[in-house]
């Protein structure tokens, strides 16, 4: 689990705290299934007679992240909240997967556990997988909501990007020479690596592979109804990514939420997000 700052709404650990202490849905048991020798854990809640909604969490998180939001939407669907392989209770893949591999696994899961097609709701990394599954298995998804979605490269002037990266590499290599003289190697890595990369552990190669994917062409193939939700203060997946996805995905709807960041959109901002999702479910169903 990632640890950023302790401010509410910006620390993924905060999701675990509020869901475990304030929401009784944590008491519902996790279920598991095996698909191609991969054990996948998930939680089922809501009205089993309604449209199935699959919730796909972000990197470094688990099904816990969505519980505050789902609590207000429980009666509107049959909710399946998964732990992706390598997160929560689900063990990591045996190979270094791409988002396409995650999408294919989830396609098998949907076929085995739902009356297709379903609604896909993803956050951050879960949006990358969502774009892939809609492109690769369009018959399984009848609608998609992407919250703080990743999948496109950030727009930075190429000359600034090159100068910035070269400067960091030169400085890092220079400081590494001081490790034999007492410089703490772990502190050096924390200074020059992203929080996701530092905390990825066994999932590090998968992280590197997925963050380097540009899903622009994949996004342009999406034809199902899609709503994009982004906080205006998101620095992890800035709102400009949302506007670009909005142009790439034909007929998509972009919902900017003022004052929310990458994590508060699911916690403190859930009362703004919930009505958007409820309306989308009603329109699709």
pLDDT digits (tens, 9 = 90+) for 11-32: 444 444 444 444 445 566 899 9
Query: If you search the block for the tokens 């909604």, which residue do you land on?
Result: 53
pLDDT at 75: 93
| Mean pLDDT calculated for residue range 174-198 | 58
List pLDDT tens digits, range 199-225.
Answer: 455 677 888 888 889 999 999 999 999
pLDDT at 65: 94
What 3-state class would DSSP assign to 38? strand
Half-sphere exposure of 167 (CA within 13 A, CB side): 6
Residue with the larger pLDDT of the pair 158 and 187: 187
Q: Which ranges constitute the DSSP H helices of the chain?
A: 12-22, 67-71, 99-113, 125-136, 158-176, 185-192, 195-199, 204-211, 216-219, 239-248, 270-284
d(CA 263, CA 258): 13
Query: If you search the block for the tokens 């396409």, which residue do you land on?
Result: 100
Residue with the larger pLDDT of the pair 246 and 162: 246
- How far apart, in Å, are the Cα atoms of 182 and each of 172, 176, 186? 15, 10, 12
pTM, two decimals, is 0.79
Cα–Cα–Cα angle for 51, 53, 55, nearest 5°? 175
What pairing do the DSSP bridges indicate for beta strands 38-46 and 78-83? antiparallel
Average pLDDT value for the chain: 83
List pLDDT tens digits, range 42-67.
Answer: 999 999 999 999 999 999 999 999 99
Lowest mean pLDDT among 104-108, 162-166, 190-194, 256-260: 162-166
pLDDT at 50: 93
Residue with the larger pLDDT of the pair 56 and 6: 56
Quote the distance between the C-alpha of residue 252 and its chain's center: 19
Contact 144, 132 (CB under 8 A): no
Lowest mean pLDDT among 28-32, 93-97, 195-199, 251-255: 195-199
Contact 19, 68 (CB under 8 A): yes
d(CA 249, CA 219): 6
Lowest mean pLDDT among 10-14, 52-56, 147-151, 249-253: 10-14
pLDDT at 22: 44
d(CA 243, CA 257): 13
12-155+207-284 classified as CATH 3.40.50.1820: yes
pLDDT at 59: 92
């Amino acid at each position: 689990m990632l640890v950023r700052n302790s401010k509410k709404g910006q620390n993924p650990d905060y999701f675990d705290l509020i869901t475990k202490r304030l929401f009784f849905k944590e008491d519902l048991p996790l279920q598991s299934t095996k698909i191609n020798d991969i054990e996948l854990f998930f939680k089922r809640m809501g009205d089993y007679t309604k449209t199935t909604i699959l919730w796909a969490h972000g990197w470094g998180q688990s099904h816990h992240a969505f519980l505050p939001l789902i609590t207000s939407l429980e009666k509107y669907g049959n909710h399946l909240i998964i732990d992706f392989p390598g997160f929560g209770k689900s063990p990591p893949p045996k190979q270094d997967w791409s988002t396409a591999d995650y999408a294919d696994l989830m396609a098998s899961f949907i076929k085995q556990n739902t009356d297709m097609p379903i609604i896909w709701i993803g956050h951050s990394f879960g949006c990358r997988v969502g774009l892939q599954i809609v492109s690769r298995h369009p018959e399984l998804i009848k609608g998609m909501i992407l919250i703080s979605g990743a999948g496109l490269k950030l727009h930075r002037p190429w000359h600034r990007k090159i100068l910035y990266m070269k400067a960091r590499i030169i400085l890092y290599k220079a400081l590494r020479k001081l490790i034999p003289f007492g410089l703490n190697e772990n502190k050096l890595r924390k200074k020059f690596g992203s929080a996701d990369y530092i905390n990825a552990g066994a999932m590090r190669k998968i992280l590197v592979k997925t963050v380097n994917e540009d899903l622009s062409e994949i996004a342009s193939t999406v034809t199902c109804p899609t709503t994009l939700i982004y906080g205006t203060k998101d620095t992890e997946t800035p709102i400009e990514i949302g506007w670009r996805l909005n142009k790439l995905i034909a007929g998509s709807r972009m919902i900017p939420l003022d004052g929310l960041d990458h994590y508060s959109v699911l916690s403190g901002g859930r009362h703004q997000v919930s009505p958007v999702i409820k309306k989308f479910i009603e329109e699709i169903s």
